[in-house]
Amino acid sequence: MNDDRFRLDLADLADEVTPVDLRDRALRTSRRLGIQRAVATSAAALVLLAAATGTAFAIRPDGGAPAPAPAGPSLIATWPAVEVTPTPEPSASPPATTTSEPAATATIGRVFYGPAPDNSSATTARLRSWKPGGVPVDLLSVPRTSALANAAVSPDGERVAWVDRNANLWVADVNGSGRRKVRAGVEGDCWGPTWSPDSKRLALALVDPATPGASRRGVLNLASNTFTEVGKLIGCHPLWSANGKVFAFPDGSAGRVTMTAPDGAGQWSIPKLGGTARYDCFDVASLSPEGDRIALYRRGPDVPSGDVARELDANVVLDTRTGNEVGLPLGGRELRQAYFQADGRLVARVASGKGFALVLIDGDGRKVSEIAEPDVLKDMQILGVAG
């Protein structure tokens, strides 16, 4: 460990002299009640500004039935159902694909990892990255509660943003340099921070000191440190599509996932989730570049709703217009995490031996390649994929 890294680690530790057990706090209440207290529940028509395009989003937080298809954008899922076939041994050559880009040039980007939820008493956590074909790289350390609750890697893979236990927003380069406190009074348990596709802005919520439990949702420009309020929304853990045109988030206690359109036509909910449907969802992981597919954790009627804290597990990929499950060529293995790359390919994490493997799946739903993760990453969870 060099002197600079040692000093950074000491600084991180100083920030966490009095650790807060976020997991225990969240577990004291159900996810439904926690989300209801974490957000403002306005019933009026509200407007969400798409910071990536400057386009206004008309928001109708009524929690009602999904709107007819014409109310949303013309999103058509391109993945057909995939017939699951046995997965070849890792030494076997990847199957041929019909995409215009040869399979040999389709690769997994840089994968970023943080600590997995456990009973650790550590107050800080070191992030790591791994580019398949290389070796894992140690990155900066952040408060452990932040790593679990809100730490986010920018789409370009250059910076990390997180909110500490004192509601301070921090941004640093992934190697720990350039660390700076950007803003005070930032809510870190529910609404972001979420990076814009251009890695220049953050969707986040500022604590409203005048109204306990309330917050102001908006977009922070990191270059100017200016905050633009965009309205109060019911929900947590927002996702931003790579094209900047679609926004998705679990919309509160009903177990629905809300999609917003960039043309001001309003919002709609993904069918077959929440309300009287068989399944609920309170945790979303990744949205495809066009917003037509989403990776999330879908809970059945007998699965507890959990707590308000962020969870990055995913057990299904859905077509956002129909709510239908998208078949994945995983050889019968259980999906653990899933992240869309900016090129539209999906990186699926599955159990493999005593650890995990990453399966790259193209836009036609065909397996491109598979690679086992290094053992050092088996006790970590993926925070994102860049490049």
Within-domain flag for 81 = no
SS3 state of residue 3:
helix
Q: Give the span between the Cα atoms of 297 and 316, in whole angstroms.
A: 6
Report the residue count for the chain: 387
Question: Has residue 386 got a pLDDT over 80?
Answer: yes
Share of the chain above pLDDT 90, in %: 58
Within-domain flag for 84 = no
How many CB atoms are located within 10 Å of the residue 24 CB? 9
Q: HSE (CB half, 13 Å, CA atoms) of 327?
A: 13
The mean per-residue pLDDT over the stretch 22-32 comes to: 37
Give the domain extent around 116: 3-62+100-386
Q: Give the span between the Cα atoms of 242 and 261, in whole angstroms.
A: 14
CATH of the domain at 371: 2.120.10.30
Are 289 and 243 within 8 A, CB to CB? yes
The mean per-residue pLDDT over the stretch 53-58 comes to: 36
Q: What b-and-e string marks burial along 47-81, b requiring 16 or more CB atoms within 10 Å of the CB?
A: ebbbbbeeeebbbbbebeebbeeeebbebebebee
Mean pLDDT of the chain: 78
Max mean pLDDT among 36-50, 215-229, 247-261, 347-361 falls in: 347-361
Residue 362's pLDDT band (cuts 50, 70, 90):
very high
Within-domain flag for 78 = no
Within-domain flag for 123 = yes
Consecutive H or E run containing 143: strand 137-143
Number of domains present in the structure of the chain:
1
Q: Bin 11: left if φ > 0, else alpha if -120 < ψ < 50, else beta.
A: alpha
Within-domain flag for 93 = no
Question: Has residue 316 got a pLDDT over 90?
Answer: yes
Within-domain flag for 87 = no
Q: Give the span between the Cα atoms of 52 and 61, in whole angstroms.
A: 22
Instruction: Quote the DSSP letter at residue 142.
Output: E
pTM: 0.76
Amino acid found at 162: W
Consecutive H or E run containing 37: helix 31-38
Within-domain flag for 205 = yes
Predicted pLDDT of residue 307: 66
Predicted pLDDT of residue 64: 39
Q: What is the pLDDT of residues 91-136, one digit of tens each?
A: 333 333 333 444 446 799 999 999 999 888 999 999 999 999 999 9
Q: How many helices (H) and strands (E) does the chain have?
A: 4, 26
CA 282-63-44 angle, 5° bins = 125
How many CB atoms are located within 10 Å of the residue 138 CB? 14
Predicted pLDDT of residue 156: 97
Are 361 and 345 within 8 A, CB to CB? yes
